[in-house]
Amino acid sequence: MSKKITEVKDQNTEQLILSAARSVFTKKGFAAARMDDIAQEAGINRALLHYYFRSKGKMFDVIFQENLKSFYANFLEILSTDLPIRDKIRSLVYSEIDTLLERPELPLFILNEIARNPDNLDEMLQHVEVHSFFKVFVQQMKAEIAAGNIRPVDPRQFIMSLMATCIFPFIAKPMLNKVMGISETEFKKVMLARKEVVSELLIASLEK
C-alpha cells in the first residue's frame, strides 16, 4: 500500500519542517524569521515549505497555536484540580517553572506576538477557553476568603504576582544574567531554587 508509506513519509517531512519552524519562529518571532532560516534548519529546499504549508503565515499559525497550548496547558490542568488553595499554588508554581526550564523562549514568544497583533487578538486566542480560565480559581479564592482561611486579597493582583514571579525571569533572562553576572547554568540553579522561594512568598502573603 503506497498510501501508508507516503503518509509516513509525509509526516516525517512535515514533522521535520515543523520542528525547524518551531525553533526559528519561537526564537526570532514572526517578523524576524525567514523562510530561508527554516529551510536551512530543516536541511531542505525553500519551495518545500510552501508545498507543505502554502505560506509563511499559515505555517506560523500552526506553530503559534501549538506554542500557545504549551504555554497554557499545565496551568489550565492544575487550575481545574480540586486541590486545597495552598497546594494548588505550589503546584502551579512548580509546574510552571519546570515547564519553562524546558521551553524558556515560550513566554517572550507568546506575549510578544500577542502584543504586536492587537487586532487579531480574538482570533489568536479563539481556541483557549479564555473566560472560564481564571474564573474557577477566582471563585476558589473568594470562597477561601469568605471562609476566613486566607487574607482578603484581590485575586487579580494575586494571579498577576503568581504569573509574574514565575514567568518574568525567563523573559528577562539575558538581561538578568548580564546584570547579575551569572551564567546559563547558574540561571537554571536559581530557577530551580526559585520554585520554593516563590511558593513561600505567595502562600505567606495569604496568611493572616
Partner DNA sequence: GTATTGTTTAACAATATTGTTAAACCTATG
Partner DNA sequence: CATAGGTTTAACAATATTGTTAAACAATAC
Q: Which three cell numbers stand for residue 155?
A: 485575586
Rounded Cα distance between 101 and 191, Å, is: 8
Please state, in angstroms and rounded to a whole number, the distance separating the CA atoms of residues 135 and 14: 38
With contact defined as beta carbons under 8 Å apart, do 27 and 67 qualify?
no
| DSSP-derived secondary structure letter, 161 | H
Q: Which does 13 bind (CB under 5 to 8 A by kind): DNA, its own copies, none?
A: DNA
Question: Which amino acid, 119?
Answer: D
Residue 180 is placed in which grid cell?
547579575
76 touches its own copies (CB under 8 A): no
Residue with cell 512548580: 94
Under the binding rule (CB under 8 A), the answer on residue 192 touching its own copies is no
The residue range among 57-65, 77-85, 90-98, 158-166 that interacts with its own copies, by the rule CB under 8 A, is 158-166
Among 35, 44, 108, 136, binds its own copies (CB under 8 A): 108
The answer to whether 44 and 17 are in contact (CB under 8 A) is: yes
Which one among 29, 35, 128, 136 touches DNA, defined by CB under 7 A? 35
Pick the closer one to its own copies by CB: 16 or 125: 125
- Residue count (the chain): 208
28 forms part of the interface with DNA (CB under 7 A): no
* 100 contributes a contact to its own copies by CB under 8 A: no
| Binding status of residue 83 toward its own copies by CB under 8 A | no
| Binding partner selected for residue 50 from its own copies, DNA, none, CB under the kind-specific 5 to 8 Å limit | DNA
Binding of its own copies at residue 180 (CB under 8 A)? yes
